[in-house]
Amino acid sequence: MVTSHLAALKIYHAEQAEIAKNVYVQSRAPSDDATDWSLVLRAARKQITAALRASMFLIDVPAALVESGEHMLVFRHITAPPISQDQFSLVCPGWRKATERPHGSRIKLDEAQFIAAAFEERRSRPLTPWVDAERRPLKREVRRLLWTIAPLIASQQIQTIQRTRAASAQERAITTMLANKGWMREPSSLLDTRAALPARHFMHKTRYATATSSPQEVDIALGLNSTVVLAMECKVSNDQTNSVKRVNDVLKKSNAWKTHWGSFVKTAALLQGVIAPKDVARLIDDGVEVFWSHDLSSLEEFIDTHS
């Protein structure tokens, strides 16, 4: 009886996985992707132009860094080869990657000179011949630099945008749904006692105690009745290879919580994108409640029944 119920559940979720995949494919319309790429590429060119102007076409890099640490993003991509934030901080210990954030902080002149020296050692000579010739760049040299490094910067940025956009939207959908249903949002804190989260209250991105390791972060913690907590992990996957690891993440946390909390915790996974049916089956076998972003009504129904 239990076996047939599980089998039926797996068939149902295999169908849902197919729907989720189709939703994902439709969301990746070529024209939308091309528009995204065009916007990010344009923004990258503007960043490069700003960095070139602020540094007087790389003649005075410290001046640009004193103006804003944000220009370092461009300078890192003019090195040969382009260098990551962490790698640059290794070769230039005085540089802090936080200064590169958008609207980044200004850098002191002596630090900027030190950073500029590290950049100068790694500057791509073929891309910036005018610096060595001690002259202003030709228009075609600036154009070449723009067309060479703008795609490098844009490629990183669009990946980050696509990664975070889907995940943020997924979590926002849940918190909005809960708020609309009258659930109370609690400030994030360490959940280490049984009654820490009352019924019809929830926390977003909070830490949840385990028995064997340090507390594990949970995307959404929902207080159900009888002091049971629904620990919900939100997972977006863009391909089936990735869904293996995402499901492994959920199972690892689920086991850590179950060991510590026993029947006082239920783990749930809210899935979106391309998830292999076999991975969904692994969640079901482990007793994880599975929901889908394209069908939040199922989740609503579940929490209405259990809260």
Which residues of this chain interact with DNA, rule CB under 7 A? 84-87, 96, 98, 101, 105, 156, 159-160, 162-164, 167, 188, 205, 207, 214, 216-217, 219, 233, 235-239, 241-242, 244-246, 248-249, 278
> Among residues 213, 214, 202, 207, which one has the least CA distance to residue 191?
207
For the bound state, the minimum distance from the C-beta of residue 59 to DNA, rounded and expressed in Å, comes to 26
Q: Name the residue nearer to DNA (CB basis): 129 or 215.
A: 215
For the bound state, the minimum distance from the C-beta of residue 81 to DNA, rounded and expressed in Å, comes to 9
SS3 content of the chain, % helix, strand, coil (to 5): 60, 15, 25
b/e string for 105-126 if b means 16 or more Cβ within 10 A?
eebeeebbebbbebbeebbbee
> Among residues 191, 211, 213, which one has the least CA distance to residue 202?
191
Cα first-last separation, the chain: 27
Q: Name the residue nearer to DNA (CB basis): 141 or 249.
A: 249
For the bound state, the minimum distance from the C-beta of residue 74 to DNA, rounded and expressed in Å, comes to 12
For the bound state, the minimum distance from the C-beta of residue 275 to DNA, rounded and expressed in Å, comes to 11
Q: Counting Cβ atoms within 10 Å, is residue 1 exposed (0-12), middle (13-18) or buried (19+)?
A: exposed
Q: Name the residue nearer to DNA (CB basis): 213 or 225.
A: 213
Q: Name the residue nearer to DNA (CB basis): 123 or 253.
A: 253
Distance CA 304, CA 307 (A): 6
Q: Name the residue nearer to DNA (CB basis): 28 or 194.
A: 28
For the bound state, the minimum distance from the C-beta of residue 25 to DNA, rounded and expressed in Å, comes to 13
